Amino acid sequence: MTRSGESAEGRGAQTKAAILRAARERFAAQGYERTTIRAVAADAEIDPSMVMRYFGNKEKLFDAALAVDLRLPDLSTVPAGELAEVLVRHFVLRWEGDPADDALLVLLRSAVTNEAAAARMREVFATQVAPALVVALGPERAARAAGLVSTQLLGLALTRYLLKLPAVVSLSPEGVVAGLAPALAATLSAR
């Protein structure tokens, strides 16, 4: 323990968290190809060797920075008529928190130029969105809806948080929910 009572493990956890935060911001701003270990280290205010110590290389740092848990609510108890609104509100509130630090947005930006990121994006939606919809819609309807639901939610992220289209950015979070939920409801109710 140091004089301040902080252990080496505690400092290591703080350093690792700072690296991941800096990496997410850098990958979000520049994508995978243009992000460097040196730039991430500079943003985290540490030596580049520390990034290598904790993560090994850029690819492993990218993987760690993109650990995505959508934190979807339990949809099994949501009435069918409210499902679309619950999904849109969940994603909007999540992204409104701190879009620069959201691994999902980093992943979305990187997926268009990096096959590993695209594969991770497919994995996230296949392993998290589809199963969440199964409990709400049943397996047959969920299988048909999952991909289209993903396009609408990812399209929202792309236009509001990455491309920052003025007409979408200017909407309040409730305005986004009110505008997008009916389209998502139509997708979810399609037979």
For 27-72, how does the pLDDT look when each residue is reduced to its tens digit (9 = 90+)?
A: 877 878 889 999 999 999 999 999 999 999 999 998 888 888 888 9
**Helix 48-55 with 37-44: angle, nearest 10 deg:** 110
Q: Is the pTM of this model over 0.85?
A: no
Burial of 136 (0-12, 13-18, 19+ CB in 10 A): buried
CA distances from residue 135 to 91, 109, 144, 149, 184 in whole angstroms, order as listed: 18, 29, 14, 15, 17
Has domain 8-65 been given CATH number 1.10.10.60?
A: yes
The Cα–Cα gap between 176 and 43 comes to 33
What is residue 138's three-state secondary structure?
A: coil
pLDDT above 60: residue 127: yes
Token pair for residue 5?
């009572």
Residues 132-188: pLDDT tens digits? 999 999 998 888 898 899 999 999 999 998 899 999 999 999 999 999 999 999 999
The Cα–Cα gap between 96 and 10 comes to 29
pLDDT above 60: residue 5: no
Token pair for residue 54?
């904790």
Break the chain into its structural domains and give their ranges.
8-65, 75-189
CB burial of 140-173 (b: ≥16 within 10 Å; e: otherwise) equals ebbeebbeebbebbbebbbebbeeeeeebeebee
Token pair for residue 90?
């969940």
